[in-house]
Structure 1
Amino acid sequence: MTQARSAVRVAAALAPLVTCAVLAGVRDTVTTETAVLVLVLWVVAAAATGDRVAGVLAALSGGLWFDFFLTEPYQTFAIDRADDVEAAVLLVVISLAVTEVALWGRRQQGAASRRSGYLDGVVGVAQTVADGDVPPAAVIGVVAQHITEVLHADACRFVEGAVHDPRVAVIDHDGSVTRGGHHVDVDRVGLPTEDYAAVPVHRRNRVVGHFLVTASTRVSHPTLEQRRVAVLLADQVVGVLPDPPG
């Protein structure tokens, strides 16, 4: 755990404590609803950091210190009134729900950002090919770099011709992966680490080359969308490859 994350979690746990202690001094003028809203704001702030643990700590801390400082009997963890019990329970439940919603929002934002990055990569490569004044080797190098990044791989290089080695996993146009005629569940097991994965380059119905992808230092689990983007990137080099003989 990094120091920054540790600091966020400590702050998430302490902020509701300090808030409830302050509100205790003016509890005669502060309604239960107001106190709950203030505490939920701390949960939102903690969850906005993207750390689920921080959000949960803020939620639990808020419920605990709300009980201690703002419900009768004061400065005990007992609650006498049914309304206060309901308020404390709702505070924790709502806070946990807010944490999950905030984290979901961050994931969606991150996914949208990644999709935008993928699209920018494809558009950039397509523009490079359309310009026509870039050497084929440079175009292939740019595509290989983008494929490496999209698949979270270690390296990628272009090889002419079809894939003949049955040990090599092949990423098909629909994003599915096969190896020796068998489906590979990349979401579960990731790309092969002991052998290559190949992204074929098609000219009409013929494979004219393929990008060999290496992911040996770590297990990579590219999504179906990422695999499809890799195939789309690979297809961009068709325009710079010479026509095969015959």
Structure 2
Amino acid sequence: MPRYLDRDRIAILAALILPLAVSLAFVPFRASHQNTNVALIMVVIVVAVAANGHRLAGALTAVSAAVWFDFFFTQPYQRFAISKAADIQTALLLLVVGVAVSQLAARARRLRLIAITDANYLAQIHATAELAESSKSADPVIALVTNQLTGLLGLRGCRFEYGTLIGHPPRLEQDGSVVWDRKRLDVDRVGLPDREIELRTIGNGHFYGRFMLDPTPGNIPSLQARLVAVILADQVGAALDTAGNR
């Protein structure tokens, strides 16, 4: 995990430096290049940073790119002001497109994390999918995933609750983050909260229940492990949906 944290820090620095550096490199040629071409180059920079960092890095790059595009490539030059309507539109589009693309690139990065390089994770997903397909009842799938989650996340315990949402415990989300009291916890730094966490099971858009996860204090499961846990819970949701439609 530290490898990814280091890469994120580098991405933040790149978000602040790269748009300025590229802008300075193109300033001598701005008379011979249309502003739209410069804006497209800035979007490429946003994609590159976001793909190797995270949403914040991508968004910062988009803002930085729009600011320096305004400063260097719209008249009056070297001022944070724009006199032409077309340049205003280009700057706004650069900002909007840059932020949107950064979100997509960050999501692609998360999917790449779970492009699962760990053969054990792949084996667990495959075993659950096979059981869900062959079993006439969802109970064996729930039992299997309960054991898998315990080992995968290093839990003290794990249980499944059918169709109930009592209380407001911390929740493991689809993107592997943990939300508690409307706040996103920094799991990679402080670990899971020392109380039960819910992991909901959804099948075909229907809520069927939730796994209640009892974390081990001090244990910090990786983002990859948390994303695999979400996939396993989704397979339980699919099994419950199939069983309910038989």
Q: Is the 8 A contact 2:156 2:216 kept in 1?
A: no
Question: Cα 1:13–1:215, aligned 2, differ >3 Å: closer, same or farther?
Answer: same
- Matched with 2:64 is 61
1:70, 1:228 → 2: CA distance?
Answer: 49
Q: Is the 8 A contact 1:16 1:42 kept in 2?
A: yes
Q: Is the 8 A contact 1:177 1:184 kept in 2?
A: no
- The Cα shift of 1:226 comes to 3.1
After superposition, give the CA deviation of every residue in 1:172-221 in whole Å (9 maximum; x if it has no partner): 6xxx487xxx85776638999568x9xxxxxxxxxxxxxxx852416998
- The Cα shift of 1:59 comes to 0.5
Stretches of structure 1 that go unaligned for 5 or more consecutive residues are 126-142, 157-168, 198-212, 232-246
Identity %: 28
After superposition, give the CA deviation of every residue in 1:100-156 in whole Å (9 maximum; x if it has no partner): 11122233444564998655126579xxxxxxxxxxxxxxxxx99744233x13356
1:187, 1:117 → 2: CA distance?
Answer: 27
Q: Is the 8 A contact 2:12 2:53 kept in 1?
A: no
2:32, 2:69 → 1: CA distance?
Answer: 15
2:77, 2:193 → 1: CA distance?
Answer: 60
SS of the aligned residue for 2:78 comes to coil
- How do residues 39-54 of structure 1 correspond to structure 2 at under 5 angstroms? 39-54=42-57
Stretches of structure 2 that go unaligned for 5 or more consecutive residues are 129-144, 173-177, 179-191, 199-212, 238-246
SS of the aligned residue for 1:28 comes to coil
After superposition, give the CA deviation of every residue in 1:78-118 in whole Å (9 maximum; x if it has no partner): 11111111111111111001011112223344456499865
Task: Establish whether residue 149 from structure 1 lines up as the match of residue 132 from structure 2.
Answer: no
Question: Cα 1:188–1:90, aligned 2, differ >3 Å: closer, same or farther?
Answer: same
- The Cα shift of 1:52 comes to 1.3
State the TM-score, normalized to the length of structure 1: 0.57
Task: Establish whether residue 188 from structure 1 lines up as the match of residue 190 from structure 2.
Answer: no
Q: Is the 8 A contact 2:8 2:52 kept in 1?
A: no
The alignment covers a number of residue pairs equal to 184
Task: Establish whether residue 170 from structure 1 lines up as the match of residue 159 from structure 2.
Answer: yes
2:100, 2:71 → 1: CA distance?
Answer: 22
User: Which has the greater radius of gyration?
Assistant: 1
Q: Is the 8 A contact 2:8 2:53 kept in 1?
A: no
SS of the aligned residue for 1:55 comes to helix
Q: Is the 8 A contact 1:177 1:186 kept in 2?
A: no
- How do residues 100-115 of structure 1 correspond to structure 2 at under 5 angstroms? 100-110=103-113, 113=116
Q: Is the 8 A contact 2:39 2:94 kept in 1?
A: yes
- Matched with 2:29 is 26
1:13, 1:215 → 2: CA distance?
Answer: 38
SS of the aligned residue for 1:73 comes to coil
1:3, 1:67 → 2: CA distance?
Answer: 31
Question: Cα 1:124–1:224, aligned 2, differ >3 Å: closer, same or farther?
Answer: closer
